[in-house]
A and B are shown apart, each in its own frame.
Chain A
Amino acid sequence: MQHGKYRFIVGFLALPLGLYALFVVWPFVQSIYYSFTDWTGLSPEFKMVGLDNYKRMLHDDIFWKSLQHSLMFAVVLPLVTISLALFFAFMINVGGRRRKGGPVITGVRGSSFYKIVYFFPQVLSIAIVSLLFAFAYNPDSGAINSLLRGIGLDHVQPLWLGDPSLALWCVMAVLVWSTVGFFVVLFSAGMASIPADLYEAALLDGAGRAATFFRITLPLLWDTVQSGWVYMGILALGAESFAVVQIMTTGPGGPDYSTTVMVLYVYQKAFRDGQAAYATTIGVALLVVTLAFAAIVMRLGRRERLEY
């Protein structure tokens, strides 16, 4: 049976690998190549300029600001989203009080309803979510400030997206709101596969909710959390953060560069300023950041796998 085994495997892999090489690897190579040119993106003529684009990038204040914001997205967003999602998932699946005649381990009352509600934002496209929140943040007639007025807080009328110290947080809140549901469902699925007898044993030993969570749920869910972390980081560095910043913020990217992120800067340089080569340079920097992020998460998250 060994005979022809490799040919067999290669036969199956050739097409996907070919597609991967053509649509993933090759664009990478091309982008890196273009980052050494002065290509405008609007004409077929360009020449090599060596490391000029990279030198320029190192002295570009806006690039550093966008990098700083992107890094903040990559750290804060997964932390907040995943903590929230873990909490919600735990309450939905495990955190409920024991009810007479019910199973030992159960979620809070109405947990199946919450599960659907949390997942709701996931159904909406990020563009629609951003638009909705842009309306909500409207300081003049938006939902949030109207609510504040409604409860008598007439003097607390923040500018939200118009305030450089709030804008970035406003944007992050939208991303958390729109992605947390996905992770709730993901973690719920993970928790469902944890055997109930482990919980029963813990209960018998007198463990409360917090102890159960940190001693049983989290360690057994670690792999899922880690994957979720990477996935969330990609969202925070990539397309999703671009969409919310582009659609919602002042400028976009403002006020006063307080919300600009790397993907937005790539887009602006390539499609607004006709500097495609410089844009690919920032793209390469973004690639480095993304890979570094993944490597760090994997390294920090390394721990013994538990069998059960």
Chain B
Amino acid sequence: MMFWSPAIERMPMEELRQIQEKKLKALVRNVYEYSPFYKRKFRELGIHPTDIQSLEDLKKLPFTKKQDLRDNYPFGMFAVPLSQIVRFHASSGTTGKPTLVGYTEDDIRVWVESLCRGFVSCGVTNEDIMQIAYGYGLFTGGLGFHYAAEKIGATALPVSAGNTERQINLMKDLGVTVIACTPSYILYMAEYAEKMGINIRETDLRMGIFGAEPWSEETRRRIEDKTGITAYDVYGTSELSGPLFTECIEKNGLHVWADHFLIEVIDPKTGENVGEGEKGELVVTTLSKEAMPLIRWRTGDITIMETEKCNCGRTHPRIMRILGRSDDMLIVRGVNVFPSQIEHVLMQIPEVSEHYMIILDRKEELDEMTVQVELSDKVSIDKPVDVLNLARKIEEKLKIILGISAKVELVNPGTLQRFEGKAKRVIDKRRI
């Protein structure tokens, strides 16, 4: 099977645009009526649904930003009653409040449909056994892959993240053919397997779908050289549902399903659309989402859009692999981390000052985050254990807020770099 939904996936772009236009008009009417957030926002800006008559009118609509989701936590962004919500997912927030996403039954269907199209486009079949080593739970990676794998008739192995030895044993014993995880984790697994005396090349593993963190063509080559598998990119964010788009076998961009998502690439500074083939921030309008529709959602991810029809026969526009962020968000072991979250934790601890640095490094293919912070004059230290206990206390608080571990190093007051103007508190030594 070459296509999951052949008619739609090969539909001429002109016809897709007609669908988009119809859906955009309906979306604007719908949020104006049912979303407390958009109703308020449109009224403030003097926008009425009748102002939106064509795709060109999209530019009249305001952007939706991460801060809007935070300000309207938990249910203020929803456009349906809670009785129609069948699932929540959440990601960690900056000040302890998570970013919440709700789904109707149809939202889950569209999410699964999008990923099924992607799976088939890169050659996953119902014969495959897919080891899903993305986290299951509030994070969308695990469950997103899980339902799509089952939907196409493949066998899902819901192993979730962690416990590398068990991952490798299951991979070998069950004859896993497809792995889904972060690109750094497959490299870590390959090294770990070697230590166990297992060569991944000699297992049945033939391909991997890697995402949740930025990676490069160089890393693709490293993965493919080391493991002998074919590596594909996947993209999605929890706000848009979860993992949604993958590369096809052409490995020349990720197909964004135009019947469900309307994309723009903008200059993050001016908000204006950039020209075709130019780098900018990906902005997505959800055309089918019911529970939490988003208009001109600023993803913060930098990419390039390609609208030429792909050699694979799909007509939908493509985005090139994510090149970076337009904001200061960090991605550590697949988890989104904002420096402001770390700052918020440190501010609550009187024994340390407001001077800190975040150092990211990669040890044995896995990300490591170290937070260096200066002791304040309120600290009372007489024994080494006092220092270790303070560091441990901060580490525990960071883990609660960030969802991942960070190492805390306490340093002498006045020894970290001071900044005039915009602080550059992150030192990223990782090779992406």
Q: Do A and B bind each other?
A: no
Chain B residues proximal to chain A, CB less than 8 Å: none
